[in-house]
Amino acid sequence: MTTSTKPKTKEYVRPIPATWWLGKKSYLKFMIRELSSAFIAGYAVFLLWLLHHAVKQAGDAAGFQGFVEGLKSPVVVILHLIALAFALFNTFTTFNVAPRVLTVRRGEDTLPDAAIAGVHYGAWIVVSLVLIGIAFMLR
């Protein structure tokens, strides 16, 4: 029988409450951003289901009109507004943290944080305008 000469140590495990993320504003914003991502993913699945349903109803004019009227219900409108709020929050917080994650070097210097965030916002505006233009052309 072999015995160990090392003394047994007890590891300290710091207790962490379930509400740890409520302690600091930055933690709260992080958790809301992460939870908003899950909601946005669920919303994307909902939109795919709506698209599938719309395609099925496309041949039937009365059925499609009923589908469009269903989209005007207060529950669906509120769902769209909640998804928009989460998407905007997620976008703003992600773009604002981008300069901390992405460092662009020009020789010895680094690009200013405002420039990195500005490029993100600028690209967002350009892509949004292009999509709005496409939507109006398809109308």
pLDDT given for residue 77 in this prediction = 92
SS3 120: helix
What kind of fold does domain 26-103 have according to CATH?
3 helical TM bundles of succinate and fumarate reductases (1.20.1300)
Cα–Cα dist 28/21, whole Å: 5
Cα–Cα dist 85/77, whole Å: 12
Tokens of 58: 């496309």
For the stretch 21-35, pLDDT in tens is: 899 998 998 898 888
Residue with tokens 């600028």: 122
Per domain, the residue ranges of the chain are: 26-103
Q: Which residues of the chain have pLDDT under 70?
A: 1-4
For the stretch 128-138, pLDDT in tens is: 999 999 999 98
SS3 106: strand
Question: Element (H or E) spanning 29, and its range?
Answer: helix 25-57
